[in-house]
């Protein structure tokens, strides 16, 4: 029977949790199974994220490991919808994991990293100040916080994220330290692969390139209602002596500016994602985390982006996560080798306005068999398997 490389994508609502089960060989040449876990988290806002979804997911991961440590854990970037699950499991469910090898995005090293990259530190401090300004303003507001803004606040919360990142940094088996990874990191002796080829595509070491300018608070376009980013001015009572029209204009002015600042902060973290391409028995697979346009641009510039047989769609199906120029390279209209291709999106409506983007998913579905976690029960999963004998890959849904 053919051995199979299996990709299991869990429905954690708006978030990512990916378990790779890979037929490999050990140092003695014996057949072994390697397990790679990429992220575990979801958003906290509205219906897009609930803690109870982690129980079936973490229990299944534990069962699949069969009491063994994770061979490689990859924390792609510092966002709650990617990092909070393991800490929740340890604190609330009594489910804990250890990892033989531990990769974390370079900037998550903290002060040691930012001391080496002062420009990145300046931009990060400016981003934190902007975040705190938005959070403080909304805490004092009488208006309900729009869902889109609440999602951005929760996902990018530096204090909540810090606890999760610290927990992940301590997952190393027998005290093994994490490797803080960027595109040019030397990962020799820090991975379980012998048969599997891999390439780190992102992030760049100096993350300052991912920070756009924090926009001034100027009146911008009103976002759509799927997950609104503007405050409902009608829900706020103007202070004495201030006309209702002027006051409502001020609220709209500030809220749209704050949304732009939060998106700038959000993009920088997304673009710091570890992106990795794997090749196993002729099958090529790409896991780009939540990379957005700037990271894809750098990946395209610094690497040869090649067509793949499997794509984990970036950033939960957003348009920004699948820029057309780079998508055409990794998923061209026709597969160069004529073999089947698969793509999976892990997403949920209600966190970000316009995410997932229907046009992006339609485009991908025209080029690969698209599996969407919204079709699953909460905590369920899709398996996509690639055989080592050149046979046809398949996808299956959990019971």
Q: Which of 312, 284, 285, 289 is nearest to 382 (CA)?
A: 312
> What was the pLDDT predicted at 240?
64
pLDDT score of 229: 53
CA distances from 367 to 41, 164, 276, 277, 331 (A): 28, 36, 21, 19, 7
Q: Which pLDDT value is given to residue 218?
A: 35
List C-alpha distances in Å: 261 to 130, 150, 316, 325: 7, 13, 21, 26
Greater pLDDT, 353 or 328: 328
Q: How confident is the model at residue 352 (pLDDT cuts 50, 70, 90)?
A: confident
**Within-domain flag for 300:** yes
Structure tokens at 58: 């973490």
- At 254 the pLDDT is 56
pTM of the predicted model, to two decimals? 0.91
pLDDT value for 83: 97
The least confident of 233-242, 309-318, 326-335 is 233-242
The pLDDT value recorded for residue 59 is: 98
Residue 343 sits at φ, ψ, to 5 deg, of: -140, 150
Over range 234-255, report the average pLDDT.
56
Q: Cβ contacts of residue 337 below 8 Å, gap of 6+? A: none
pLDDT at 339 over 70: yes
**Distance of alpha carbon 319 from alpha carbon 179, whole angstroms:** 31
- 69: domain range? 4-127+160-205+274-397
**Cα–Cα distances in angstroms (integers) from residue 383 to residues 71, 258, 373, in the given order:** 19, 40, 11
Look at residue 31 and tell me whether its pLDDT is greater than 50: yes
Residues of the chain above pLDDT 70, percent = 87
The kind and range of the H/E element at 297 are helix 293-302
Is 254 part of any domain?
no
pLDDT of 151 reads 85
Residue 378 has pLDDT above 80, yes or no: yes
**Residues 91-102, mean pLDDT to the nearest whole number:** 97
Give the confidence band of 255 by pLDDT, cuts at 50, 70, 90: low
71, 26 contact by CB (below 8 A): no
Q: Average pLDDT for residues 27-40, to the nearest whole number?
A: 97
Kindly list the distances between the CA atom of residue 269 and the CA atoms of 76, 103, 107, 283, in Å, as whole numbers in the listed order: 10, 16, 9, 29
Q: Which of 304, 305, 312, 317 is nearest to 341 (CA)?
A: 312
Q: Give pLDDT, residue 156.
A: 92
Residue 341 lies in a domain: yes
Closest CA to 53 of 91, 93, 19: 93
pLDDT score, position 219: 30
CA distance 40 to 19: 10
Lowest mean pLDDT among 128-132, 217-221, 231-235: 217-221
The confidence score (pLDDT) of residue 329 equals: 98
pLDDT at 397: 96
Instruction: Supply the mean pLDDT for the chain.
Output: 89
Residue 109 located in a structural domain? yes
Query: Average of pLDDT values for 255-266?
Result: 80
Task: Give the CATH number, domain containing residue 292.
Answer: 3.60.15.10
9 located within any domain: yes
Query: How confident is the model over 321-331, as a mean pLDDT?
Result: 98
Confidence of residue 226 (pLDDT cuts 50, 70, 90): very low
pLDDT in the model for residue 223? 35
Banded pLDDT at 241 (limits 50, 70, 90): low
Rg value, the chain, Cα: 21
Closest CA to 40 of 72, 83, 5: 83
Least confident of 13-17, 172-176, 209-213: 209-213
pLDDT at position 212, please?
A: 80
- CA distance between the termini of the chain: 23
- Domain count of the fold of the chain: 1
Question: Does 213 fall in a domain?
Answer: no
Please give the residue that has the higher pLDDT: either 239 or 23. 23
Instruction: Please give the sequence-ordered ranges of beta strands (E in DSSP) within 96-186, or none if there are none.
Output: 99-105, 179-181
Q: Per-residue pLDDT for 377 more than 80?
A: yes
Q: Which of 83-87, 96-100, 185-189, 224-228 has the lowest mean pLDDT?
A: 224-228
Residue 50 has pLDDT above 90, yes or no: no
Model confidence band, residue 213 (pLDDT cutoffs 50, 70, 90):
confident
Residue 126 or residue 238, greater confidence:
126
- Residue 239: inside a domain, yes or no? no
Q: Does a structural domain hold residue 211?
A: no
Judged by average pLDDT, the poorest of 146-155, 282-291, 322-331 is 146-155
Q: Which residues of 123-158 are buried (b: 16+ CB within 10 A; e: fewer)?
A: bbebbeebbeebbeebeeeeeebbbbbbbbbbbbbe
Give residue 243's pLDDT. Answer: 57
């Amino acid at each position: 029977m053919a051995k199979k490389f299996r990709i299991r994508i869990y429905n954690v609502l708006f978030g990512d949790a990916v378990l790779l089960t890979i037929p490999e060989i050990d140092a003695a040449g014996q057949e072994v199974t390697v397990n790679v876990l990429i992220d575990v988290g979801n958003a906290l806002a509205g219906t897009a994220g609930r803690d109870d979804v982690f129980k079936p997911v973490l229990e299944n991961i534990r069962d699949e490991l069969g009491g063994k440590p994770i061979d490689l854990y990859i924390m792609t970037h510092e966002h709650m919808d990617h990092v909070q699950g393991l800490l929740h499991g340890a604190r609330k469910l009594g489910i804990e994991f250890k990892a033989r090898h531990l990769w974390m995005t370079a900037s998550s090293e903290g002060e040691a990293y930012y001391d080496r990259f002062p420009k990145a530190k300046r931009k990060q401090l400016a981003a934190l100040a902007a975040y705190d300004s938005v959070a403080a303003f909304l805490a004092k507001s009488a208006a309900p916080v729009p869902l889109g803004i609440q999602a951005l606040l929760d996902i990018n919360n530096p204090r909540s994220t810090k606890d999760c990142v610290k927990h992940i940094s301590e997952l190393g088996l027998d005290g093994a330290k994490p490797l803080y990874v960027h595109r040019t990191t030397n990962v020799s002796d820090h991975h379980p692969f012998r048969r599997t080829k891999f390439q780190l595509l992102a992030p760049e070491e100096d993350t300052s390139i991912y920070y756009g300018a924090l926009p001034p608070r100027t009146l911008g376009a009103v976002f759509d209602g799927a997950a609104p980013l503007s405050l409902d001015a009608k829900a706020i009572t103007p202070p004495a002596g201030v006309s209702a029209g002027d006051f409502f204009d001020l609220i709209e002015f500030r809220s749209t500016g704050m949304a732009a600042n939060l998106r700038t902060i959000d993009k920088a973290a997304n673009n710091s994602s570890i992106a990795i391409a794997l090749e196993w028995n002729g099958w090529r697979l790409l896991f780009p985390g939540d990379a957005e346009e700037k990271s894809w641009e750098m990946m395209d510039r610094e690497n040869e982006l090649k067509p793949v047989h499997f794509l984990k769609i970036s950033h939960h199906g957003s348009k920004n996560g699948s820029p057309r120029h780079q998508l055409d390279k990794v998923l061209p209209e026709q597969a160069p080798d004529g073999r089947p291709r698969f793509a999976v999106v892990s997403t949920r409506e209600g966190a970000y306005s316009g995410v997932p983007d229907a046009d992006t998913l339609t485009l991908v579905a025209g080029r690969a068999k698209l599996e969407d976690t919204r079709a699953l029960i909460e905590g369920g999963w899709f398996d996509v398997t690639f055989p080592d004998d050149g046979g046809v890959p398949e996808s299956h849904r959990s019971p």
